[in-house]
Amino acid sequence: MCTVEKIIDETPTVRTLIFSDQVLSKVLPGQFAMVWIPGVNELPMSVMVTQENGKAAFTVRKRGESSTGMYNLSVGDYIGVRGPYGNCFDIKDGKLLLVGGGTGLVPLLRLITFCKPSHEITLLIGSQTKEEVFFEDLANKLLENNKHQVIVVTEDGTYGKKGFVTDVLEELLEQNSFDAVYTCGPELMMYKTVNLARSNQIFVQASLERMMKCGVGICGSCCINEDLVCRDGTVFDGDHLMQNAEFGHQHRAKSGILEKI
Amino acid sequence: MATSLSTSIGTLTLERPTILASGILGISLNIFERLYRAGAGAVVTKSLSKEPWDGYANPTIFSVKGGGWLNAVGLSNPGAPNFAKMITSNKDVPIIVSLVGSVEDDFDFMVKQFENCKVSAYELNLSCPHVAKVGLEVGDDVELVKKIVKKVKSLTDVPVIAKVGLGTTNYLDTVSAACDAGADGITAINTIRAMAIDVETRKPILSNKIGGLSGTPIKPIAVRCVYEISSKFDVPIIGCGGISTWQDAVEFILAGACAVQFGSVLGEHWTEVFAEINSGIQNYMEQKGYSSIGEMVGQSKGS
């Protein structure tokens, strides 16, 4: 068991919980851990970077009962952590475009920490509104030694550019050339991002989310057609995803029944 | 003479003796096809119920020392009607449909859902150790076991296999009841009732508190059960419990099993394990001069 050592309020609905764990502090971008909140539930969480050695974090948005239970943890509370599980982004050289929405930014920020100084990085941050924007300052700080730009897009236009993050992505792809696109966030955003990147002949990968129970490829809860998000993913190539009829369209409920996204 | 991995459970002939155990990954036809391509001789579905079940809240699965897994998933499944629809397009994969229910009528309803599907066999889950009124609670009631097996036998021509586990009734009495009622095979064993408690929080780890133990720690118990069943009954046995290597699979065959099931091992070795175990069995057969699986079954008993 780990203890929550520090809590950062990122927005009115998002918190980052920091704890000590040597192994998780070094996970690859896209890998996740199963996090047990005693008495509440166990959730798959992408592992967030911290500024301190030997520490790892989870960034959670309160939404359902389980994520709210995690959000409501206090400093000193216990969490059970197992992992890391899953694969990671394949980081290409050159100009990279990162497209993140909400807590989907977590693996993208970790990806940034694996970049070389020669990488030129554009990070698109999507949010509904100004007060839900987070990680902009942290991203700029992590990228201070790289040629970079961080572009925030809010749906209501209260901060940064107005519109959907994929609208800005479309403009960027028209005006610039990139060597690779990486995305994590709401699935419809990822679906559009993968499509746009592929239609511009750019290598693209997405880190997917599905309901998980075991995290290790036993239970099958997170299957998307013949792939297991926990074991074959979380990161998939865009070319592979576009042959998967469930990507962007369907996910499984707890019982295993396919539902529309 | 060429060695063959082909094996039979009653009228069901499989190209290979390695079967995906119930509860593991068995949720989409695409995954079944993938596992079949990876070397599985057959796949058993998750245990299906009349209605969709969500199962228990997480934590539902927890790894324990020595290669064991503790689980109380709670038989989450999309329900027999939904599942049957999904596998109507199955062409080549030998699918064994696992069913779970409380009374004969449940099984009657469920088997009828699969009338238009290619189903190789039914496996009746009489042994899930962590859901009330089904599984072990049914397996412990030998009269009910008889009624259910008879009912399913009357509804289908494909083999009907009873999956037994260690409950409060002597499991050999459950096997006897299933055989009397005409079961074509026995799968032994299921997970064993078990639990784990976190010492820091002083709480049971599984949300259901009690679950079933699978994996390496239960293998010697499962081998003993297969040995006992094969010594007392003339019925095809599928050995299940803690198999993670070809040596384990051979051990079950020598104890009396004509095929094996496994699943927990996928947590460590993933889908390659089917091909690894198949080729290990084949090499062993060549070394020992066996030409068929059938020749090996029960060979630990001497003459």
Domains of chain A, each with CATH number or no CATH: 2-85 (2.40.30.10), 91-200 (3.40.50.80), 208-261 (no CATH)
CATH number of B7-301: 3.20.20.70
Q: Can you point out the beta strands (E) in chain B?
A: 7-9, 12-14, 18-20, 42-44, 61-64, 68-71, 95-99, 121-125, 160-164, 185-188, 192-194, 197-198, 203-204, 211-215, 237-240, 259-262
Q: How much is the CA Rg of chain A, to the nearest whole Å?
A: 17
Check whether B140 has a pLDDT greater than 80. yes
Q: Is the pLDDT of residue B27 over 90?
A: no
Q: Where do we find the tokens 């699935």?
A: A187
Closest-CA residue of chain A to B62 = A214
Contact B224, B246 (CB under 8 A): no
- CB neighbours of A190 closer than 8 A, spacing ≥ 6? A99, A104, A183, A184, A206, A208, A248
* Spacing of C-alpha A202 from chain mean position: 20
* A-chain residues near B59 (CB < 8 A): 34, 36, 41-42, 80
Q: What local confidence, expressed as pLDDT, does residue B5 receive?
A: 97
pLDDT of residue B302: 72
List, as ranges, residues 120-179 from A with C-beta within 8 Å of B: none
Query: Token pair of B302, please?
Result: 């001497």
C-alpha distances out from residue B172 to A200, B169, B225, Å: 65, 8, 9
**CA A158 vs CA A1, A138, A172: distances in Å:** 41, 20, 21
**Domain residue spans of chain B:** 7-301
pLDDT score of B82 more than 80: yes
Q: Which residues of A touch B69 (CB under 8 A)?
A: 218
Point out the residue among A217, A255, A257 whose CB comes nearest to the CB of B270: A217
Query: Sorting pLDDT into bands at 50, 70 and 90, what band is B268?
Result: confident
Residues of chain A predicted below pLDDT 70: none
Tallying the residues shown for chain B, one arrives at: 303
pLDDT of B1 > 70? The answer is no
What is the percentage of chain A residues whose pLDDT exceeds 90? 99
Residues B50 and A91: their CA atoms lie apart, in Å, by 47
Dig out the tokens for B299 from the structure: 């060979």
Closest C-alpha among A115, A77, A74 to residue A97: A115
Helix and strand element counts for chain B (H, E) = 11, 16
Residues of A in contact with B71 (CB under 8 A): 214, 219
Lowest-confidence pick of A79-88, B133-142, B272-281: B133-142
CA B42/CA A108 separation, integer angstroms: 40
pLDDT score of B303: 59
